[in-house]
Amino acid sequence: MSSHVATAILDWGAASCALAGETVCGDQYLVCQLATGMLVAVADGLGHGPEACAAGKCALEQLGQGNGLSLQERVQHCHEALKKTRGAAVSLAFFEPGAGTVSWTGVGNVEARLLPANLGAPGSRAAKFMLTRPGVLGSYLPAPRLETLPVFPGDVLIMFTDGVDDLLMPALPLHLPPQALAENILLLHGKGTDDALVLVVCYRGGRHEC
């Protein structure tokens, strides 16, 4: 499954696949507009099959509700809602163009990388890796670790579930559009032993002064 959308703030694409033999994928993603920016999230429902899919969808439904909630509050509400499911790993990020920042947090093994557009070039900024807390929303919620980073037009956020191998950052073809990059990563790095999802988000607007 794949999808591609562009807004004034973000351009993004996503690619996913279910474990062989399953008809639905437990790995789900969300991109939604809030009052002051854009929220993006990936949820990995525990296991695979219909119950994993239901947990993933429940997580994203909760994360996308309400304009005034902090990321930590969204994680807490998601944890409470997922107690009726098998649970999920979740990572989420909020792009705030007025501040020129992205804030992110995660619980479980959904990885995220923030990459500068000129990654690997002389003088380029370093890639940033999300530090998640071990846990499963719906079962065990540690204190979320929130980090806020500067973000610039052309920066790329890649979020991926544990059905995808860890990524070699300099080798990624960041010149590709988000949808093509998501499909490329899934094709080349998907393990084939679990549900898998890759979400690629390119930040387009709201640059702040260095």
Q: Could you say which of 3.60.40.10, 3.20.20.70, 3.30.56.10, 3.40.640.10 is the CATH number of the domain covering 2-203?
A: 3.60.40.10
pLDDT at position 28: 97
Q: Which pLDDT score is estimated for 3?
A: 53
Q: What is the predicted pLDDT for the residue at 209?
A: 34
The first and second tokens of residue 32, run together, are 């939604």
Q: How far is CA 113 from CA 91, 125, 149, in A?
A: 11, 13, 12
pLDDT along the chain (210 residues), means of 10: 64 96 96 93 96 97 91 96 97 95 96 89 89 95 93 95 79 89 93 94 65
97 by Cβ neighbours in 10 Å (0-12 / 13-18 / 19+) ranks as buried
Residue 198: HSE in the Cβ half-sphere, 13 Å Cα cutoff: 24
Domain ranges of the chain: 2-203
**What pTM did the predictor assign?**
0.92
Q: Could you write out the DSSP letters of every residue in 132-186?
A: PBS-BBTTB-PPP--EEEE--TT-EEEEE-TTBPPP-GGGS-TTS-HHHHHHHHH
